Amino acid sequence: MNDFIIIAFRTFFLYFVILIIFKLMGKREVGELSVMDLVIFILIADVASFAVDNPKRSLFESILPMIILLVIQVTISFISLKSKKVRDKIDGDPTIIIRDGVLLEKEMKRQRYNLDDLFQQLREKDIGSVQKIAYAFLEPSGNLSVFMKDNLPPILPLIVDGEIQKRHLLLIKKSERWLRSELSKIGHDDHSKIFYCCFEDGKIHVQLKS
């Protein structure tokens, strides 16, 4: 009977501990979880199950791995916030699957993303024709972002956290030299000080790091 009371108490207690840990990790929708988030969540679930299954183990020993996982997650999130390169390594980068109505087979193979997956996601967005799509991005979360030819084109960031986005420059058919020249015209010679930069309505828009 004693073990049943301990198990009930631990289940109740761990529920609130896990709730607090997830709150501290930050708000994310299930579909937006990164691979790192999923690994942490699975490990926390395993640790919690061991804590409930073994009532003889001290509660501190059960909670300690969860606290370590929280520290790991918060530390990596902080580093990712400061470094675009680290963020891309952990979360990945969006991949263009369709451009100007053409399926990019090489990119689809690289992401192990097949036609059945693509057409299912297009149907869910009520899109019947690939030819009417200007751009379709496969997001790191697995979601598909679609921009139709009739709508405004996507505004791609050219600089993020001081890092020039060369792939995005290629998409808008501009060069790194052109970008540096345009920035110099408006008094920005050091791109590493720029938090965000985009090209919209024929103009360069810049926001400096605080």
Residues 131-171 have pLDDT tens digits of: 999 889 998 778 898 988 877 777 889 998 888 988 888 88
**Segments of the chain scoring below 70 in pLDDT:** 1, 26-34, 88
Residue 1, pLDDT score:
52
- Helix locations, 54-83, DSSP H: 59-82
Neighbour-count burial for 33-58, b at 16+ CB within 10 Å, e otherwise:
bbeebeebbebbeebbeebbeebeee
CATH classification code of 157-208: 3.30.240.20
Is-contact 134 153, C-beta < 8 A? yes
Residue 121, pLDDT score:
92
Q: Write out the residue limits of the CATH 3.30.240.20 domain(s) in the chain.
A: 93-148, 157-208
Name the E strands within the chain: 95-99, 102-103, 133-138, 144-148, 157-160, 163-164, 194-200, 203-208
Neighbour-count burial for 63-81, b at 16+ CB within 10 Å, e otherwise:
bebbeebbeebeebbeebe
DSSP state of 151: S
Q: Give which of 35, 3, 66 is closest to 140, Cα–Cα.
A: 35
Residue 142, pLDDT score:
81
The residues that bridge with 148 in the sheet, in sequence order, are: 133
Is-contact 158 165, C-beta < 8 A? yes
In this prediction the pTM is 0.58
Residue 104, pLDDT score:
92
The superfamily in CATH containing domain 93-148 is: bsu07140 like domains (3.30.240.20)
